[in-house]
């Protein structure tokens, strides 16, 4: 997407029927009130769902026009809006619209639109309309059924690492279809501007290049003022309305887990405002039911992402409860689920754990936020193979490349 085209395109967009009902509403003085302060990020939130998130300078209503038909003219693209309890989301600066029915084996084009709103109980004034420029997301799944993506973790707001890691020649040559963020990528979760600088800006840059993201929540995504507004930036997963999910994507069955905080709910840092214990217990029950379901047993190659490795043995007395909780609630489902590979993070030191009694799958743990410890892991899956290769910033391989034979139900 051309950055210049991201600015308001009032003249072209004003004739679109997306807000036809608004044509009868009063017009506010022409100002670019809905100008974008956060370009769109595209986030995979299901096997056929893509969430588009952006932010405007002033309260506005948001729409996404999108299509997977290469021949459909722009003015006939269907629209998607966010509707909550019968009301179209509007009069707010944060916009998050989920596209459903996406076929990730086909390219997708979308464009966000916003129109400034001033709302009172009996009337809504619509201001200037802005369109974000057309973004093209290539097919994630290749014609031969293959899927390749990159995994980053524990960036802790060191955004400079993102382009560097993705520019490693072997990674760039693989053309990863998307980037999975396996937790703690923003460090803590500061206010909207801080989060934009720490993470959403670089992710928007990737989206503009046609590379969406996949989000797994880390323990640091429980911290900071935006932690309670995380849904403004990262959509929960379709189907669970939470930050855990399971869905098929090409040759893979993905299991994405929220590994929670690493501290007890009563820790002084949380001032009595954390209830992670119940959340992870519920997630564990969900995961247990999932891996016993017919859909999972007939799954493809099974890949799990979980920020905190259940094997973590953090010696800090206040940080070891999280892994203990995961061993209690999530590890049983991981063991029973015949997963082929667990991708974890959190330790800030890349490591490989081969299968062991009670843990019948290998674990790859990504590196840390410093240039000396940072890693990117390239996942390459075909209908018959699954390979995981981890790269340090200098292009070397700090861990063995895993070539895995999928397990059968
Ligand atoms: Fe962590």
The secondary structure of 161-186 as a DSSP string is HHHHHHTSHHHHHH--S-EEEES-SS
The SS3 of residue 213 is strand
Residue-level length of the chain: 409
Distance of CA 137 to the CA centre of its chain: 15
Structure tokens at 231: 């849904």
Strands 301-306 and 341-344: parallel
Taking CA atoms, 220 is separated from 19, 129, 153, 256, 263, in Å, by: 39, 36, 11, 17, 11
Cα(168) to ligand 1 centroid in Å equals 24
Name the residues around ion ligand 1, CB cutoff 5 A: 184, 218-219, 346
Tell me the DSSP string of 274-290. --HHHHHHHHHHHHHHH
Q: How far apart are CA 236 and CA 82, in angstroms?
A: 13
Are 182 and 216 contacting, i.e. CB atoms less than 8 angstroms apart? Answer: yes
Neighbour-count burial for 220-231, b at 16+ CB within 10 Å, e otherwise: bbbbbebbeebe
Cα(315) to ligand 1 centroid in Å equals 14
Q: How far apart are CA 382 and CA 214, in angstroms?
A: 19
Half-sphere exposure of 244 (CA within 13 A, CB side): 19
Q: Write down the residue that tokens 């001032």 correspond to.
A: 271
Are 61 and 151 contacting, i.e. CB atoms less than 8 angstroms apart? Answer: no
Taking CA atoms, 401 is separated from 33, 380, 394, in Å, by: 51, 11, 16
Cα(394) to ligand 1 centroid in Å equals 24
Cα(40) to ligand 1 centroid in Å equals 26
Are 186 and 157 contacting, i.e. CB atoms less than 8 angstroms apart? Answer: yes
Q: What is the pLDDT along the chain (409 residues), one digit of tens a residue?
A: 433 333 333 233 333 333 333 433 444 444 455 689 999 999 999 999 999 999 999 999 999 999 999 999 999 999 999 999 999 999 999 999 999 999 999 999 999 999 999 998 899 999 989 999 999 999 999 999 999 999 999 999 999 999 999 999 999 999 999 999 999 998 888 788 888 888 899 999 999 999 999 999 999 999 988 888 899 889 999 999 999 999 999 999 999 999 999 889 988 888 888 999 999 999 999 999 999 999 898 768 999 999 999 998 877 777 778 899 999 999 999 999 999 999 999 999 999 999 999 999 999 999 999 999 999 999 999 999 999 999 999 999 999 999 987 665 4
Q: How far apart are CA 236 and CA 216, in angstroms?
A: 10
Cα(195) to ligand 1 centroid in Å equals 17
Whether domain 3-137 has CATH 3.30.590.10: the reply is no
Cα(187) to ligand 1 centroid in Å equals 9
Cα(208) to ligand 1 centroid in Å equals 28
Q: Do domains 3-137 and 147-404 have the same CATH topology?
A: no
Taking CA atoms, 70 is separated from 106, 135, 138, in Å, by: 10, 13, 12
What ranges do the domains of the chain cover?
Answer: 3-137, 147-404
Cα(37) to ligand 1 centroid in Å equals 29
Strands 87-88 and 79-80: unpaired
Cα(261) to ligand 1 centroid in Å equals 8
Cα(217) to ligand 1 centroid in Å equals 9
Structure tokens at 333: 């489902």
The SS3 of residue 51 is strand
Q: Write down the residue that tokens 């679109």 correspond to.
A: 16
Cα(25) to ligand 1 centroid in Å equals 49
CATH topology of domain 147-404: Purple Acid Phosphatase; chain A, domain 2 (3.60.21)
Structure tokens at 320: 């070891």
Cα(184) to ligand 1 centroid in Å equals 5
Cα(388) to ligand 1 centroid in Å equals 21
Structure tokens at 217: 């929540």
Structure tokens at 308: 């905190």
Are 148 and 380 contacting, i.e. CB atoms less than 8 angstroms apart? Answer: yes
Cα(183) to ligand 1 centroid in Å equals 7
Are 132 and 66 contacting, i.e. CB atoms less than 8 angstroms apart? Answer: no
């Amino acid at each position: 997407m051309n950055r210049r085209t991201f600015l308001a395109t009032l003249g072209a967009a004003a004739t679109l029927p997306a807000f036809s009902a608004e044509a009868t509403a009063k017009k506010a003085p022409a100002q670019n009130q809905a100008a974008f302060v956060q370009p769109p990020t595209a986030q995979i939130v299901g096997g056929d769902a893509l969430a588009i998130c952006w932010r405007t300078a002033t309260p506005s209503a948001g729409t996404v026009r999108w299509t997977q038909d290469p021949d459909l003219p722009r003015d006939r693209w269907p629209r998607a809006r966010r509707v909550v309890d019968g009301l179209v989301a509007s009069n707010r600066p944060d916009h998050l619209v989920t596209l459903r029915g996406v076929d990730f084996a086909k390219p997708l084009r979308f464009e966000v639109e916003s129109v400034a709103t001033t709302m009172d109980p009996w009337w809504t004034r619509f201001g200037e309309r802005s369109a974000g420029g057309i973004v093209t997301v290539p097919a994630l799944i290749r014609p031969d059924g293959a899927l390749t993506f990159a995994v980053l973790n524990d960036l802790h707001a060191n955004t400079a690492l993102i382009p560097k890691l993705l520019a490693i020649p072997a990674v760039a040559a693989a053309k990863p279809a998307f980037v999975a963020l396996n937790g703690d990528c923003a460090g803590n979760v500061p206010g909207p501007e801080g989060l934009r600088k720490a993470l959403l800006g670089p992710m928007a840059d990737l989206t503009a290049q046609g590379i969406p993201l996949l989000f797994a929540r880390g323990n640091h995504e429980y911290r900071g003022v935006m932690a309670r507004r995380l849904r403004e930036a990262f959509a929960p997963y379709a189907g669970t309305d939470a930050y855990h999910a399971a869905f098929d994507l090409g040759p893979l069955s993905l299991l994405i887990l929220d590994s929670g905080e690493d501290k007890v709910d009563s820790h002084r840092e949380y001032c009595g405002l954390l209830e992670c214990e119940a959340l992870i217990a519920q997630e564990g029950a969900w995961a247990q039911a999932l891996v016993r379901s017919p859909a999972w047993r007939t799954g493809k190659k099974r890949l799990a992402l979980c920020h905190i490795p259940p094997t973590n043995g953090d010696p800090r007395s206040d940080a070891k409860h999280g892994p203990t909780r995961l061993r209690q609630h999530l590890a049983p489902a991981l063991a029973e689920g015949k997963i082929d590979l667990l991708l974890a993070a959190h330790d800030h030191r890349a490591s490989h754990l081969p299968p062991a009694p009670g843990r019948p799958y290998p674990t790859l743990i990504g590196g840390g936020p410093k240039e000396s410890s940072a890693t990117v892991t390239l996942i390459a899956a075909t209908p018959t193979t699954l390979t995981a290769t981890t790269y340090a910033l200098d292009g070397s391989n700090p861990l063995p490349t895993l070539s895995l034979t999928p397990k059968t139900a």
